[in-house]
Amino acid sequence: MRLLPVATLFSFVIGLLFASPAFSQEEKLTYERSYQDYTYNYDIYRRANSEYESYRLQYIQYKTLTAQENAREATVRMLQARDEVSKTYLTALRTRLSETGGIQDDKRGPLNSQIDASVLWFADHKDKIPSAGSLEDLVKDSDEASEYYKQKEYMLYDTLVTISIGKIAFIREKQDTTLGEIKTKVSEIRANGDKDTAVLERWILDTENRLTRSREKELEALELMPKLKGNQDKINLGVYEDILFKLSESHQYLKDANSYMKEIINEIKFED
């Protein structure tokens, strides 16, 4: 009977970390709660996998019926724990997507639907694992989950990029509103002759340029998305890193713009 290779047991489970979220106190499944559920279940999986490795080695060494049954039961527990951690990861990802502003509904909706379908798939897969009568059947169940993950991998990375872009878009929208209010105030000052606004207007232009640069970097990141799928539909992690770098540049321009606006507001407060 063939046992699952230890090195590939959990290769399809995502090892991506989430940023610390901002969340409300509403009684609902928030990102923080769902992420805690994910980390809790990941710890259960790690213990189940360690137990599996132990029984696997015993079976390879002794080849007895008892060792075989112990290995089968340990494999069932490990595979069920793996499916559960996949479910809870997807749930955390979905809540993060739902709680992030700046995402268009025509993008958020389809991604939510795809994630929901994947959660149900892993739930069903977990339920059927105990029915496997042999280690060979369990190997097939494991391979089935691995293949399913490969099919959904792009969707997961697409969701992660969408969340990052949504955060940036939300901040930029707020800054556009604030800058509009500043421009109105500076126009009033110029009309009233209360202050020489030449410097303020130049700083406003600098701020607008930073916001424009932020949009350009975001677009550059989006242009890389078709390249995220590499050969044989595998995720090109180098392209993913490039996308994240472009988005970090976009975010930095927003930080610059925010600093500029603070400086403009402070300057408005002082008379010539």
- Judge whether 23 and 31 are in contact, CB under 8 Å: yes
Q: What is the end-to-end Cα distance of the chain in Å, rounded? A: 86
- Judge whether 237 and 160 are in contact, CB under 8 Å: no
User: How much is the average pLDDT of 114-139?
Assistant: 95
- CA 56 to centroid of chain Cα atoms: 34
Q: What are the tokens at 16?
A: 């991506």
List pLDDT tens digits, range 90-114: 999 999 999 999 999 999 999 999 9
List pLDDT tens digits, range 24-67: 444 356 888 999 999 999 999 999 999 999 999 999 999 999 99
CA dist., res. 44 & res. 150, Å (int): 23
- Judge whether 185 and 122 are in contact, CB under 8 Å: no
Residue owning tokens 């590939």: 8
Predicted confidence at residue 17, as pLDDT, reads: 34
DSSP letter for 272, please.
Answer: -
- The more confident residue out of 17 and 54 is 54
pTM above 0.85, yes or no: yes
